[in-house]
A and B are shown apart, each in its own frame.
Chain A
Amino acid sequence: MPGVLIPDDLRARLRGLRFTARLPALRQGLGQHHGRSRGAGLEFEQYRAYEPGDEPRRVDWKLYARSDRFFVREAARDSPLSVWVLLDASASMAQADAARPAYSKFAAAKLLAACLAEVATLQGDSCGIASLSSKGVAVAPSGSGARHRDRLWLALEPLRTQGEWPIEAQLAPLWERISPETVVVIISDGLDAALPAFAARLAAARRQVLSLGLISCEERDFPFAGGYVFVDPETGAECRSDGEAARADFLARFRVARTALARELARCGIRHVDHCLDEAPDVPLRQLLAHA
């Protein structure tokens, strides 16, 4: 059985979702996406002049009759798409709400990754998953098909949060695996300062980047009342504060930070969607894949 179970109702709602390639796919083979490869096909793409070696049956004879020249009729071939899901596995992703302690941000990220693999598999695209942490980058290689999807699901199971966001050198293997024109979905909490820069570099290198930011309900509502000691899970820093007194200030600053993050990513052409842990997981996916 796959490690991360997708509930049946959620799986049913995933049927309507589609990855669409904004950039033409480079991969060879048959797929459902607008690709750069030309050849025999149903959808007319262009005429080009005959060159020696072209098959005579691809010459458009009716056009030859009108223009007395040989033209080869070319059709666009639909190409498969490659999807990479990058999971932020830093320690801050272990954040969970007190009301639902088992459903941490990372658990939500794994569920979303499983959903994305399912969507990619449904439309015949290949999918790979990588979890990023300063303690190590775990990669489940890209592939397609239902069996590969199940392998991805199994690979998701042992992933744990630890450390911080990886440094640049640790991310180097990703550049070798993630080829250009790939759809990259980064699922993180958006709290690591190095994330926007990494996403911007991916986008600048012709990767189609989508960003999914996870927000816990406590970050959204700040329901704390009374004295608390807040501990940063990554640095261990402590902050003593009173819930009611700090609420308005925190909510204002947090909202400003999220808006700034979304704006910075949008400037690089990256669509960013925030997802609260108490929402249905298909809602952000729908927003993310709507017009991609």
Chain B
Amino acid sequence: MIELLAPAGLAAAAALVVPVAIHLVRRSDRRVVSFAAMRYLRARPHPRARLRLVRPLLLATRVGLLAGLAVLLALPVWLGSAAPSPPWVVVAPGVDALAARTAVRTPPAEWHRLGDGFPSLPDGSDPAALAADARLAAEPVPINSLLRQLDRDLSPKVILTIVVPETLGNLDAERLQLAHAATWLPLPGSSPVLPGHGGGGTDAQTPATAVTAAPFTIAVRYDAAGASELPVVRALGAAWAADSRTIAWDIAAGNVPLPPSPAWVFWLGGAAPETLRARARAGDLVLVTRSAENTGEVVLAAPDRAILRAEVLGRGRLLEFTAPLRADALPAVLAPDFPQRLWTVLATPTRIPASAPARSVAPLAIARTDRAPAESLEPPLAVVLALLFLLERLLATRSRNSSAA
């Protein structure tokens, strides 16, 4: 299949007018001859309406030469044979091979595991291969990168089916874009996590000094039930002050107006009201206690339960404790390092999520831009054109010689 990389180059074919015009003009000129037997000659003027071309072979050579040059300017490439290729099914790690085979209803296809070298997926008849594949399925791989490589290397006609776990990890900052026609099929499961791509839990590598602009304000608002949590908050304040952190505390009842942004807002009163969520979207950090509905990422955990979940809201964050901030409801607050751990979580800037629900990161379709498997047709075409040029010179000079003789 031949494709042109720069079809605008075909505009050079307009130059075909030139040789045609030359051969027509030569036709129309009239030579004067002295002819004694003219009385036997009847005037038969050449019919003007009928266009005729002189030396058609030479003209054909010249037209072919110019057309070939125009095609050369249009950068022809050979995209390989247009024979239909079987569809591909790639299964990402985190999805069992047999589960993927039962989930995908495709006519005969090539099955591959998404991994280095794209090994083929066992069909269940060989236990050893199945075991090897299970090891591969537990191995974390950069999914987006591999899919981009596959998209570039695969013949453009291949139809892809991508089987991924519902919770997809090891993503990168760029949304996946594929030129191939692809079906995105999430199955239950989650990706194995690369070391360094913190999928959950604490992240001790993040520097705790991210918030250093001191003094800054922490506004604490509480409702009737929230007053019982104030002692813990004051204890946190004392602990942080002992770490020589300068904080201006603004502790007041729930109806007192909040200080201007930017600020940290602690809300001791259950689910966050809409005004606070708006503050979070504007860039503030909002800490809420006594909420069990948050499904966000767990950023602070005790050995037996999650303590603090974080949710990214607009430009800010909403953090919610899973229980009231009291020693009886949340024994973890009694731990000596709890203030330090909480400060680390609060002061850590918003992190790019490394994992996401697979349905939300389905690849976008883009037009083909890369032509990696294409083979340039310019060298053979150039050789053909050179031969054509020689032929043209031969025809032109030979006819000149014969007409002069």
A residues with a Cβ closer than 8 A to B are 92-95, 98, 105, 189, 191, 216, 218-219, 224, 226-234, 237, 239-242, 245-246, 249-250, 253-254, 257
For B27, what are the chain A residues with a Cβ–Cβ distance below 8 Å? 226-227
Smallest CB-CB A-B distances: 5 pairs: A92-B36, A242-B46, A245-B44, A230-B35, A227-B30
The answer to whether the Cβ of B214 comes within 8 Å of any Cβ in the partner chain is no
For A98, what are the chain B residues with a Cβ–Cβ distance below 8 Å? 33
Assess whether A231 is in contact with B46, with CB atoms less than 8 Å apart. no
Assess whether A230 is in contact with B46, with CB atoms less than 8 Å apart. no
Known contacts A242-B45, A242-B46: does B40 contact A228 (CB below 8 Å)? no
Assess whether A95 is in contact with B35, with CB atoms less than 8 Å apart. yes
Q: In chain B, what residue has the closest Cβ to A247?
A: B44
Known contacts A226-B27, A226-B54, A227-B28: does B34 contact A240 (CB below 8 Å)? no
For A191, what are the chain B residues with a Cβ–Cβ distance below 8 Å? 36-37, 39
The answer to whether the Cβ of B49 comes within 8 Å of any Cβ in the partner chain is no
B22-60: which residues lie under 8 A (CB-CB) from chain A?
A: 27-47, 54
CA distance A246 to B43 in the complex (A): 8
- Please name 10 pairs of A and B residues whose Cβ atoms are closer than 8 Å in the assembled complex, sorted by A: A93-B36, A189-B36, A191-B36, A219-B36, A219-B37, A227-B27, A240-B30, A240-B43, A242-B45, A246-B42
Assess whether B46 is in contact with A227, with CB atoms less than 8 Å apart. yes
Assess whether A241 is in contact with B42, with CB atoms less than 8 Å apart. yes
For A234, what are the chain B residues with a Cβ–Cβ distance below 8 Å? 36
CA distance A216 to B34 in the complex (A): 12
Q: How many chain B residues have a CB neighbour from A under 8 Å?
A: 22
Selected contact of B41 from candidates A92, A94, A105, A250, CB within 8 Å? A250
Q: In chain B, what residue has the closest Cβ to A252?
A: B40
B residues with a Cβ closer than 8 A to A are 27-47, 54
CA distance A227 to B46 in the complex (A): 6
Assess whether B41 is in contact with A233, with CB atoms less than 8 Å apart. no
CA distance A43 to B54 in the complex (A): 72
Selected contact of B33 from candidates A92, A228, A237, A246, CB within 8 Å? A228
For A219, what are the chain B residues with a Cβ–Cβ distance below 8 Å? 36-37
Selected contact of A228 from candidates B32, B36, B37, CB within 8 Å? B32
Assess whether A241 is in contact with B40, with CB atoms less than 8 Å apart. no
For A224, what are the chain B residues with a Cβ–Cβ distance below 8 Å? 33
Selected contact of B32 from candidates A216, A229, A246, A253, CB within 8 Å? A229
Nearest Cβ in chain A — how far from B31, in angstroms?
A: 5
For B54, what are the chain A residues with a Cβ–Cβ distance below 8 Å? 226
Selected contact of A250 from candidates B31, B36, B42, CB within 8 Å? B42
Assess whether B38 is in contact with A230, with CB atoms less than 8 Å apart. yes
Nearest Cβ in chain A — how far from B55, in angstroms?
A: 11
Selected contact of B42 from candidates A216, A233, A249, CB within 8 Å? A249
CA distance A224 to B33 in the complex (A): 10
CA distance A245 to B29 in the complex (A): 16
CA distance A232 to B41 in the complex (A): 11
Nearest Cβ in chain A — how far from B45, in angstroms?
A: 5
Q: In chain B, what residue has the closest Cβ to A240?
A: B45
Given contacts A94-B34, A229-B32, A239-B41, 13 further A-B contacts (CB under 8 A): A189-B36, A191-B36, A227-B27, A230-B41, A231-B34, A237-B38, A241-B41, A245-B44, A246-B44, A249-B44, A250-B37, A253-B42, A254-B37
Known contacts A241-B41, A250-B41: does B35 contact A232 (CB below 8 Å)? yes
- Counting chain B CB atoms within 10 Å of each CB, which of A92, A93, A229, A241 scores highest? A241
Selected contact of B30 from candidates A216, A229, A245, A257, CB within 8 Å? A229
